[in-house]
Amino acid sequence: MSRIFNFSAGPSTLPESVLLKAQEEFLDWRGTGMSVMEMSHRGKEFMSIAEELKSDLTELLNIPDNYKVLFLQGGATGQFAAIPQNILRGKEKACYVNTGAWSAKAIKEAGNHCDVIVSADAKDSNFTSIPDYSDWNVDENAAYLHYTDNETIHGVEFQDIPSFGDIPLVSDMSSNILSRAVDISKFGIIYAGSQKNMGPAGVTVVIVRDDLIGNADNKIASVLDYAQQAKNDSMLNTPATYNWYLVGLVLKWVKESGGIAAMQQHNKAKADALYQAIEKSSLYSNPVNTAVQSRMNIPFVLSNAELDSEFLKLAGENGLSSLKGHRSVGGMRASIYNAMPAEGVTALIDFMAEFERTHG
């Protein structure tokens, strides 16, 4: 059976060359006679994998020397709790921006650890826009300002980096990390789950500025403490070794494909093509303000919702998988992360045009 085009929001499609490389090395990694998943995380073989992983991510994202790069577990959800426990630094308040489902989850979790100030809220727009920065209420005495760079469910993405003085900026980049250039030095913390642009589920990348490490709540669980994890090279507990290896293969694929600049160009071309197809259609529409449309997750609805099930059925029969929108918003959603080839987006556009011709 030939491979399909998988538009899942996560776990998402992986580069075929990465899967083939993992298959090639599955039983015997570089002549060691064992699989990576069998290796001791303290052995020299796995330590070399870990060192390359960190080095490649640092190179790709141009991470400054005054940042620690951690490879943890628990996903972004785990970081919703870890962040306030690590960087409140004796303060009682933190600022959060609510632009969708993942922002809301972060806000709820943070509320267990501090007083949350919702500095801006896109709820009134049904999360189809981002409030203008001039309208944000950011308390300069708060410990940090948190926002979600790309809302996977609602298809809203920041197009630039907010700036509010010296308050540390914290961003969840789970669904758009590695997809475009970003100035790491503008942030106190960037964190991201791996299952969208970096590899399979099971690894959480945390990039944290040095001055924000070492002041954790004294009741924090050790596995959530950035200082302890940094001291132990992210191996305070046994890491998800095979997942680290797979993330490393994806990073090498990004490098071999031209790096972040190439990914940014690739993603813009795919997104532009799909948005243009939706825009010129009378059957499909995208609800998001054009100024903040995501290049990673593109939701769209059919003018006649009774056609949804037929659309999904025929899409599946044509090798286009996982296009159903999140249950909270309905409709359709095409997630077109780095590993989605241009051919996949073209196939989707062609199918949408044919479906509209026969059902519109």
Active-site hit among 102, 136, 244, 253: 102
Cβ atoms 315, 323 nearer than 8 A: yes
Last residue of a domain, one of 240, 256, 272: 256
Within a 13 Å sphere around the CA of 347, how many CA atoms are in the beta-carbon half?
A: 20
Beta bridge partners of 98: 121
Q: How far, in Å, CA of 264 to CA of 252, rounded?
A: 16
Query: Which listed residue (29, 54, 136, 196) is catalytic?
Result: 196
Query: Which CATH number characterizes residue 210's domain?
Result: 3.40.640.10
Cα–Cα distance measured from residue 187 to residue 149, given in angstroms and rounded to the nearest whole number:
12
* Closest residue by Cα to residue 8 from 177, 255, 200: 200
The catalytically annotated residue of 56, 121, 149, 172 is 172
- Per-residue pLDDT at 73 exceeds 70: yes
Select from 217, 233, 256 the last residue of a domain. Answer: 256
- Is residue 102 part of the annotated active site? The answer reads yes
Q: How many domains does the chain have?
A: 2
Last-in-domain residue among 228, 256, 284:
256
pTM: 0.97
Residue 196 annotated as catalytic: yes
State pLDDT tens for residues 93-108: 999 999 999 999 999 9
Residue 312's domain spans which residues? 259-359
Which tens digit of pLDDT belongs to each residue from 237-265?
999 999 999 999 999 999 999 999 999 99
Tell me, yes or no, whether 46 lies in a domain: yes
In-domain check, residue 241? yes
How distant is the alpha carbon of residue 225 from its chain centre?
Answer: 22
In angstroms, the CA 341 to CA 262 distance is 13
Cα distance between residue 190 and residue 64, in whole Å: 13
Give CA 308 to chain center in angstroms.
Answer: 27
Confirm whether 12 is domain-assigned.
no
Query: Token digits for 140?
Result: 């300069």
CATH code, domain with 308:
3.90.1150.10
CA distance 214 to 85: 11
Please give the Cα distance from 89 to 335 (Å, whole number). Answer: 37
CA distance 32 to 40: 12
- Provide the percentage of residues in the chain whose pLDDT is more than 90: 98
Domain identity same for 292 and 227: no
Check residue 1 and give its pLDDT: 61
